[in-house]
Amino acid sequence: MDFDLSDEQRLLQETVSQFIQNECPPARLRELFDDEVGYDPVLWKGLAELGLAGIHLPGEYGGSELEILDLAAVSETLGSLAAPVPFLSHSLASLAIALGGSGEQKKRWLPGMASGDTLASVALAEEGGGWLPDQWKLGSGDRLSGAKEIVEFGGQADLFVVGLEGGRLGVVDRNASGVEIQRIEAADRTRRIVRIAFDETPVERLEEGGSEVASRVLDVGLVLVAADAFGGASKLVEMSVEYAKNREQFGVTIGHFQALKHQLANMAVEVEPTRALYWYAAHALDHVPDEASRSAAIAKSHITERFMQVARDATEAHGGIGYTWEGDTQILFKRAMFDRVFLGTPRLHQERAADLAGW
Amino acid sequence: MDLSYGAEIESFREEVRKFLAANWPLQGEEAGRSREEQTRLFRERAIAEGYLCRNVPRKYGGSEQPADPLRAQVIREEFTAAHAPMEPRGIGTMMLVPTLLERGEEWQKEKFVGPTIRGEITWCQGYSEPGSGSDLASLKTRGELVGDDWVINGQKIWTSGAMEADYMFCLVRTEPEAPKHAGISYLLIDMKSPGIDVRPLRQMTGSSEFNEVFLTDVHTPRDWIVGKRGEGWLVSRTTLKHERNSIGAAAQSLGLLEGLVDLAKERRLGGRPAIEDPGIRRALVEIEGYVRAHQYSGYLQMTKGLKGEDAGIIQLMNKLNSTNIGHRVAHLAMEILGDEGLRAPSSRGLGLSAAGTSTESWIAQYMASLGIAIAGGTANIQRNVIAERGLGLPRDSAANRSK
In sign, the C-alpha dihedral spanning B65, B66, B69, B70 is negative
Whether ipTM tops 0.90, in short, is yes
What average pLDDT does this structure show over B210-229?
Answer: 97
**Per-residue confidence (pLDDT) for residue A141, from 0 to 100:** 82
Residue A231 domain-assigned (yes or no): yes
Tell me how far apart the alpha carbons of residues B173 and B181 are, in angstroms, rounded to a whole number: 9
**Per-residue confidence (pLDDT) for residue B356, from 0 to 100:** 59
Nearest C-alpha neighbor of B230 from the set B176, B189, B190, B188: B176
pLDDT of B122 > 60? The answer is yes
Q: Which residues of A touch B390 (CB under 8 A)?
A: 265, 268
Nearest C-alpha neighbor of B127 from the set B100, B98, B157: B157
Pick from B296, B313, B316 the residue to mutate for testing the A interface (most A CBs within 10 Å).
Answer: B296
Nearest C-alpha neighbor of B189 from the set B209, B204, B169, B161: B169
Greatest mean pLDDT among A134-143, A276-285, B32-41, B313-322 lies in A276-285
Question: Are A95 and A155 contained in the same domain?
Answer: no
* Cα-based distances in Å from A331 to A25, A184, A319, A327: 14, 18, 16, 8
CB atoms within 10 A of CB A347: 14
Count of domains forming chain B: 3
The shortest CB-CB distance from A256 to any of B284, B288, B394 is to B394
Work out the pLDDT band at B292, boundaries 50, 70, 90: very high
In sign, the C-alpha dihedral spanning B381, B386, B390, B395 is negative
pLDDT of B394 > 50? The answer is yes
Tell me how far apart the alpha carbons of residues A171 and A160 are, in angstroms, rounded to a whole number: 6
Distant-in-sequence, close-in-space partners of A215: CB < 8 Å, separation ≥ 6 = A133, A167, A293
Question: Are A223 and A317 contained in the same domain?
Answer: yes
Over chain B, what is the mean pLDDT? 91
Q: pLDDT > 70: what percent of chain B?
A: 93
Tell me how far apart the alpha carbons of residues B350 and B342 are, in angstroms, rounded to a whole number: 18
**Per-residue confidence (pLDDT) for residue A355, from 0 to 100:** 98
What average pLDDT does this structure show over B37-45?
Answer: 94
Q: At which of A50, A81, A115 does a domain end? A: A115
pLDDT of A286 > 60? The answer is yes
For residue A18, the one-letter residue type is: Q
Report whether A1 contacts B4 (CB < 8 A). Answer: yes
Question: Are A106 and A62 contained in the same domain?
Answer: yes
Find the radius of gyration of the CA atoms of chain A: 20
Work out the pLDDT band at B245, boundaries 50, 70, 90: very low
In tens, the pLDDT along A92-116 reads: 999 999 999 999 999 999 999 999 9
Residue A1 domain-assigned (yes or no): no
Residue B397 domain-assigned (yes or no): yes
Report whether B252 contacts B295 (CB < 8 A). Answer: no
Question: Are B259 and B228 contained in the same domain?
Answer: no
Q: Which residues of B touch A350 (CB under 8 A)?
A: 281-282, 285-286
**Per-residue confidence (pLDDT) for residue B377, from 0 to 100:** 86
What is the phi/psi pair of residue A58, to 5°?
-60, 150
What average pLDDT does this structure show over A351-356?
Answer: 98
What average pLDDT does this structure show over B56-76?
Answer: 91
Distant-in-sequence, close-in-space partners of B345: CB < 8 Å, separation ≥ 6 = B205, B206, B360, B361, B363, B364, B366, B367
In tens, the pLDDT along A220-275 reads: 999 999 999 999 999 999 999 999 999 999 999 999 999 999 999 999 999 999 99
* Cα-based distances in Å from B63 to B57, B117, B119: 6, 11, 16
* Cα-based distances in Å from B152 to A304, B104, B224, B259: 56, 21, 12, 45
Residue A97 domain-assigned (yes or no): yes
How many alpha carbons lie under 13 Å from residue A72 in its C-beta half-sphere?
30
Q: Tell me whether A289 touches chain B (CB under 8 Å).
A: no
Distant-in-sequence, close-in-space partners of B241: CB < 8 Å, separation ≥ 6 = none
Strand runs labelled E in chain A? 120-123, 143-152, 159-164, 168-173, 179-184, 193-202, 204-206, 248-249, 252-253
Of A59-73, A137-151, B237-251, which gets the smallest average pLDDT? Answer: B237-251
- Find the residue in A nearest to B296 (Cα): A276
What average pLDDT does this structure show over B218-234?
Answer: 97
Work out the pLDDT band at A16, boundaries 50, 70, 90: very high
Shortest Cα–Cα distance, A216 to chain B (Å)? 20
Q: Tell me whether A66 touches chain B (CB under 8 Å).
A: no
Question: Are A217 and A351 contained in the same domain?
Answer: yes
Strand partners, A130: A126
Q: Tell me whether A248 touches chain B (CB under 8 Å).
A: no
Question: Are A102 and A141 contained in the same domain?
Answer: no
Tell me how far apart the alpha carbons of residues A263 and A171 are, in angstroms, rounded to a whole number: 47
Cβ distance A353 to B288 less than 8 Å, yes or no, reads yes
Question: Are A132 and A188 contained in the same domain?
Answer: yes
User: CATH number of the domain that A109 lies in?
Assistant: 1.10.540.10
The shortest CB-CB distance from A253 to any of B3, B388, B394 is to B394
Active site residue B44: no
Question: Are B262 and B365 contained in the same domain?
Answer: yes
**Per-residue confidence (pLDDT) for residue B243, from 0 to 100:** 38
User: CATH number of the domain that A136 lies in?
Assistant: 2.40.110.10
Tell me how far apart the alpha carbons of residues A280 and A270 are, in angstroms, rounded to a whole number: 17
Range of the domain at B58: 7-81
User: CATH number of the domain that A316 lies in?
Assistant: 1.20.140.10
Q: What is the pTM of this model?
A: 0.94
Q: At which of A176, A206, A236 does a domain end? A: A206
What average pLDDT does this structure show over A151-168?
Answer: 97
CB pairs under 8 A between A and B: 148
Pick from B391, B395, B396 the residue to mutate for testing the A interface (most A CBs within 10 Å).
Answer: B391
What average pLDDT does this structure show over B246-267?
Answer: 83
The residue from B15, B105, B212, B243 that is catalytic is: B243
Distant-in-sequence, close-in-space partners of A15: CB < 8 Å, separation ≥ 6 = A50
**Per-residue confidence (pLDDT) for residue B399, from 0 to 100:** 64
Over chain A, what is the mean pLDDT? 97
Cβ distance A280 to B296 less than 8 Å, yes or no, reads yes
The shortest CB-CB distance from B321 to any of A4, A269, A283 is to A269
Work out the pLDDT band at B236, boundaries 50, 70, 90: very high
Question: Are B339 and B383 contained in the same domain?
Answer: yes
Work out the pLDDT band at B70, boundaries 50, 70, 90: confident
In sign, the C-alpha dihedral spanning B44, B46, B47, B52 is negative
Strand B123-126 relative to strand B167-173: parallel, antiparallel, unpaired? parallel
Question: Are A320 and A307 contained in the same domain?
Answer: yes
Question: Are B138 and B196 contained in the same domain?
Answer: yes
Count of domains forming chain A: 3
**Per-residue confidence (pLDDT) for residue B348, from 0 to 100:** 64
Range of the domain at A233: 212-356
In tens, the pLDDT along A125-149 reads: 999 879 999 999 998 688 999 999 9
The shortest CB-CB distance from A351 to any of B282, B299, B321 is to B282
- Find the residue in B nearest to A303 (Cα): B289
**Per-residue confidence (pLDDT) for residue A61, from 0 to 100:** 97
Residue B112 domain-assigned (yes or no): no
- Looking at chain A, how many residues does it have? 359
Q: Which residues of A touch B386 (CB under 8 A)?
A: 265, 268-269
Tell me how far apart the alpha carbons of residues B95 and A38 are, in angstroms, rounded to a whole number: 59
